[in-house]
């Protein structure tokens, strides 16, 4: 007996040891550890190790993992030349999707799909993706590229390559928390895309490329850009109420609210809300935070009964803005972090693979006569 669930809602399509979500209570765990605890105590590198290995690393294991990741920070010279030739107006997500695919050109064995090889490719892409994003951003602004610094951790190094100066500890920590909180989230659309592609025994680059393509959609990772655009469209806190009420009246969606799985406040939003508040105060952007709080209050009053609450994108927008990131880099930040989750799922899929091949319910007609073209 087959049942049809539009959007595969409620269908279990894979097993994972990585993240667990209680959408009603608003709980997220990675390998059984609460996301709040990881956000406060862990680092992005340690979190990725946890996701890929199902356990927290010992000191020497984390050292080795970090060393390997840093050894991949550099991109081949030919990629730098390639980046210099990309038109300035190209959206960074299109750049990232294309260049992650192109990384396969510089891998002598791009198709190797045993788990050990997949893991090596994954760590290489994880190390190089921030360099691609930072290099493209500087290139489009006509700035000199900044070589990665292998003495620096993932988040510090990215902000250093982007801005040409080392970030403050607060900024680096805030960014790292964003990376931790976005790293994995069950069988979301982009993760599913990665698992579907790798299940054909295609290759890691193809699977990650598909995932980046999925993530850029406004109903998925693209929502954080939508949140920032909305905050910019609302001139003052007094304008929030009419703006939101007008959108709701016209049945428009408010970006950064609602989630297919959470029917309570997204736990990642809670963590990012604290960060956004602090960073907004520190960087003179308190108006953004106050407008966000007001939007949340109105949405609570108007649509909480439908299970619509802030999701991860709502406060990550203010956080990224306060860190100084340009709007169109918000979704690439999500991608850089989620590469950790996608790769973990690719490894899980390869470890116990079965080709994804669902069925479609045919709703068309049968026995339709073929009419010659002149008679149509």
Question: Can you give the binding site for ligand COA, defined by CB under 6 A?
Answer: 219, 223, 253-260, 303, 306, 308, 311-313
* Helix 312-323 / helix 223-233 crossing angle, nearest 10 deg: 70
* Residue 221 C-beta: closest distance to ligand COA, Å: 8
Give the residue with the Cβ less far from ligand COA, 14 or 298: 298
- Per the annotation, the verdict on 313 as an active-site residue is yes
Say which residue the tokens 């964003």 belong to: 178
Q: What are phi and psi of 28, to 5 degrees?
A: -130, 130
* Residue 311 C-beta: closest distance to ligand COA, Å: 4
Give the residue with the Cβ less far from ligand COA, 203 or 313: 313
* Residue 224 C-beta: closest distance to ligand COA, Å: 8
Give the residue with the Cβ less far from ligand COA, 148 or 258: 258
Answer yes or no: are the C-beta atoms of 212 and 265 closer than 8 Å.
no
- Cα gap 92→334, rounded to integer Å: 12
Give the residue with the Cβ less far from ligand COA, 126 or 312: 312
* Residue 306 C-beta: closest distance to ligand COA, Å: 4
Say which residue the tokens 């990881």 belong to: 38
In terms of Cα–Cα distance, which of 94, 70, 73, 67 is closest to 83?
94
Q: Taking the CB of residue 30, how many other CB atoms lie within 10 A of it? A: 26
Which residue lies nearest ligand COA, judged by its C-beta?
258
Answer yes or no: are the C-beta atoms of 309 and 152 closer than 8 Å.
no
3-state secondary structure 124-191: HHHHHHHHHHHHHHHHHCCCCCCCCCCCCCHHHHHHHHHHCCCCCHHHHHHHHHHHHHHCCECECHHH
Single out the catalytic residue among 137, 176, 203, 313. Answer: 313
Single out the catalytic residue among 259, 266, 321, 345. Answer: 259
* Residue 218 C-beta: closest distance to ligand COA, Å: 7
Give the residue with the Cβ less far from ligand COA, 30 or 49: 30
- Per the annotation, the verdict on 94 as an active-site residue is no
Residue 347 in 3-state DSSP?
Answer: helix
| Residues with a known catalytic role | 259, 313
């Amino acid at each position: 007996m087959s049942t049809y669930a539009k959007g595969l809602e409620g269908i279990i399509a894979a097993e994972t040891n990585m993240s667990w979500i209680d959408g009603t209570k608003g709980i997220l765990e990675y390998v059984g550890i609460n996301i709040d605890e990881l956000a406060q105590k862990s680092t992005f590198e340690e979190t990725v190790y946890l996701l890929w290995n199902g356990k927290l690393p010992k000191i020497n294991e984390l050292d080795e993992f970090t060393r390997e990741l840093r050894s991949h920070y550099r991109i081949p010279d030919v990629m730098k030349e390639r980046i210099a030739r990309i038109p300035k107006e190209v959206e960074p997500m299109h750049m990232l999707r294309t260049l992650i695919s192109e990384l396969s050109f510089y891998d002598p064995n791009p198709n190797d799909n045993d788990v050990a090889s997949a893991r090596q490719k994954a760590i290489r892409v994880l190390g190089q993706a921030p360099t691609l994003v930072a290099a493209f951003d500087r290139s489009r602004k006509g700035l000199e590229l900044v070589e990665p610094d292998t003495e620096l951790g993932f988040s510090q190094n990215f902000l250093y390559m982007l801005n040409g100066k080392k970030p403050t500890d607060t900024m680096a920590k805030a960014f790292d928390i964003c990376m931790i909180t976005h790293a994995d989230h069950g069988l979301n659309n982009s993760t599913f895309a990665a698992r579907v592609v790798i299940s054909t025994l295609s290759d890691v680059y193809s699977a990650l490329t598909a995932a980046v393509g999925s993530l850029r959609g406004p109903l998925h990772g693209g929502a954080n850009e939508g949140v920032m655009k909305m905050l910019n469209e609302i001139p003052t806190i007094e304008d929030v109420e009419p703006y939101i009420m007008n959108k709701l009246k016209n049945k428009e969606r408010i970006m950064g609210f609602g989630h297919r799985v959470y029917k309570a406040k997204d736990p990642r939003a809670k963590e990012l809300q604290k960060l956004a508040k602090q960073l907004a105060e520190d960087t003179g952007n308190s108006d953004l935070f106050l407008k966000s709080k007001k939007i949340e209050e109105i949405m609570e009053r108007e649509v909480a009964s439908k299970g619509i609450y802030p999701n991860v994108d709502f406060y990550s927008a203010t956080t990224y803005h306060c860190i100084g990131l340009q709007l169109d880099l918000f979704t690439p930040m999500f991608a850089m972090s989620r590469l950790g989750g996608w790769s973990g799922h690719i490894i899980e899929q390869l470890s116990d693979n079965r080709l994804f091949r669902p069925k479609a319910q045919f709703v068309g007609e049968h026995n339709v006569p073929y009419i010659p073209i002149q008679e149509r």
